[in-house]
Each structure stands twice: as structure tokens, then as C-alpha cells.
Structure 1
């Protein structure tokens, strides 16, 4: 999980009153012209602002990273995952193999990396004070899936296919989700007044992300026939029922 230390902290809003809407709204400004405060809107606004703020050197790095990812997905679509080599990816992206490894440690990381991780912790920290942890994670992860689906739908489907079909990609996904779980646990511990290494917080976050992992695999195994947001919604509904069948 990338560092969010450079982000300005925002004042938490109070928890919504009973019956009020705390769910996502449409992306973009509201009817009165105020900024969109949903996670999806925040992610989009942050990414746009980040692009503007980046200096020339950082913009070049971002362009190189994106070129490597696009080349990787194109080659995999054409010839399969195992047949695609780092050397081929480098040639297609017009960089050297060493440059590919400078940006991504493994081929699996190229497939699994997206542009949304840098803001996940900041979005979670901005949720209303007193909001139940499950509601916070439901909002955060649902809106993240919504943003990725809107921004790069084909990459999302291709990534999910590879998670289903390629053991190395699935194994690396498990590792990266464990890292994300640990980072989210620290923020949830802060929000609930618990210790950073609190066992219950760690188990809670790991359970939610583990279930989300299975939801993504389920979606890919069935050829993306179901709406992904509906699958994610069913996942959180199960937790809200107390994990009862």
C-alpha cells in the first residue's frame, strides 16, 4: 500500500442520522455545484489533481508505468499469460527489461497493480466519525470497485480471468490483499480506539477482504455474467447478516 503521508488530513464529518442517506451518489458535482464527496468522486478528483500536480519527471514515470501495463494486457490477450515474457513486454512498451523491473517486481505485479491504492487509506480516514467499521469498508470497497469498473472495465475483466486461470497471479493477489488488509486494519484501529495490532481488528479486516477475494474469483469463474457490484453487495449483505446461511 503506497504511503499517504503527503495527503492533507480532512475533518471527519459526524455520523449520519438514522434514515439519512450515507451511500454513494453519482460521480461529479452535486446539483448545487459542491464537490462530489463519494469515494468514487474523490478517487477521480484525486487522480485528476495528481496528474496536474506531477512534475515532468513524475509524469514520464507514470506514462512509462501505464505503457508497460497496456503492453502486458495486450500481449496476454494475444498469446496467453505464460507465453508473455518480460522481454516482450519491454519491447512492446519501448523500454528496456530493466526498466520494467524498476517499476514492477514481477509479471504478476504488472497485472494486479492499479492506480487506486494511493488513496484507499485517505478515503477510509475521511468516513464519518462513529460509522460502523463494516459500513465504512462497504462504502470504500464498493466505490473502489465502481471506480475501477468505470475507468478500466476491460482490464478488470482480464485481470479477473487471470486470477481464475493462473495460479501465480492468484497467489500474488492473496499476498497483496494481505498487505492491504494490514494497512486497512491500522486505520480501522485508529478509528475505533484500538491498538494497531489488535487481533479482532485484524481478523475482521482479513475476513472482509478474503470474502471480497472470493467474490472476484466467483465473478470471473462465471464469465462475468453477473453484475460485479451486485456480487460485492451480496458479499457485504452476508456479513451484515452475521455470516449466517
Structure 2
């Protein structure tokens, strides 16, 4: 591995250490009571290093970090918007190790239960949605604020949210596979075969 690859792995380890220690402290002391200085000390880095990775404490919670969806979306081949987004989720999860998926899922579940973190995610979600909208608009030749682009994003993230909720309730579930299955159902048109009964 070249020096560039080693640097990237070192940066990834540092970033993961910051996240791991931050969420440990959040669980022990609460989000509000935990300071950036305490997180930096626990992760054995300087205060300045923390801010090189995360501009603010609330940036530890970011919807576009787990999985790394925006980066995955950029490299997707042409296809229908739902197929492209399904591929992006698959690519994003495939770029993570099992340990990273487990740690990221644990953080996301925790983030969804702390009011301050829920609020931080809500504040951040428009930026994530805007990035994804811009990508889809460029691919389809539509305007970013086209209602049909908005409808597609709403459908995709609604389906993903329901799968994610089930994953949060059952950590033993294969979350990435469940999300892919849900998006495959959406891609097929959400068909629902009529149940048959005997007699």
C-alpha cells in the first residue's frame, strides 16, 4: 500500500476513534454535558485535530456519513432514479467493514433517541437531500426542485426509514440486505400479490 493509502487508513482510524469515544461519553454523561475537549482527550488527539475532522460537536451526527451515500451515488451507472439510489445504498454499505456497519448502526440508533441529536439530524437533512436531488436532477435533465424528483426521494427515504426502524428494533437483522430488499420492492412498483385463502 502506498503512502497515500496509509495516510487515508490513518485518517479513517482517527475519525473512527473520535466517533467511538464521543458516543461512549454521550452514553455515560449525556450529549449536552460532553464537551469537545473531553472527546479529544478520550480519543488521544488535540483539540485542533478534532476540528479538522468535525467542525462542531453536532457534526458527529450526520445522515450522509452512515452509510457514505453521497459518494456512492456519484459513481453509480445510468438507470432509473430508484435503481440508482438502490445501487448507491448497496455501494455505500459494501465500502464498509462489518465492524464499521455495526458501529455506525449503533450510533444511528443512539442518535435517534437523544432529542438534541434528533434535532441536529433534522437540521442537516436538507443539505443531504439537496445533494442527492442535484445528482438526480443532473442525471435526468430535471430541475432540482422538480416535484417528481421530490416524490422519488420521498418514496425512497420513506421505504429506507421503515427498513431502518426494523433494523433498530432488531440489531441481529441484516440491515443492508433488508434495505436492499425494500428498495427492490419499490423498484418493482410496490406490487403486492393478492393473498389467497383456502376453502
Q: 1:52 corresponds to which residue? A: 5
Q: CA deviation at 1:224?
A: 0.9
CA-to-aligned-CA distance 1:167-207 (integer Å, 9 cap, x gap): 22233334434322221221212222222332211331243
Matched, 1:108 2:55: no
Partner of 2:195 in structure 1?
Answer: none
1:235 correspondence with 2:182:
yes
**Which structure ranks higher in relative contact order (CA pairs < 8 Å, sequence separation ≥ 6)?**
1
Higher fraction of helix: 2
- Structure-2-length-normalised TM-score: 0.72
* Structure 2 unmatched runs, 5+: 193-199
Counterparts of 1:216 and 1:167, CA distance in 2: 18
Which position in structure 1 is the counterpart of 2:106? Answer: 158
Contact 2:72/2:91 (CA < 8 Å) preserved in 1? no
- For 2:191 and 2:32, how far apart are their aligned partners in 1? 40
Correspondences of 1:89-238 after superposition (within 5 Å): 89-97=39-47, 99-112=49-62, 113=65, 116=68, 119-124=71-76, 127=77, 129=78, 131-148=79-96, 150=98, 152-220=100-168, 222-238=169-185
Structure 2 residue matching 1:224: 3-state secondary structure: coil
* TM-align CA RMSD: 3.5
Calculate the TM-score normalised by the size of structure 1: 0.61
Structure 1 segments unaligned to the other structure (5+ residues): 1-47
Number of equivalenced pairs: 190
Q: Distance in 2 between matches of 1:59 and 1:142?
A: 22
Is the Cα contact below 8 Å between 2:66 and 2:104 reproduced in 1?
no
Question: Following the alignment from structure 1 to structure 2, what is the Cα–Cα distance between the partners of residues 150 and 122?
Answer: 23
Residue 228 of structure 1 deviates from its aligned partner by 0.5
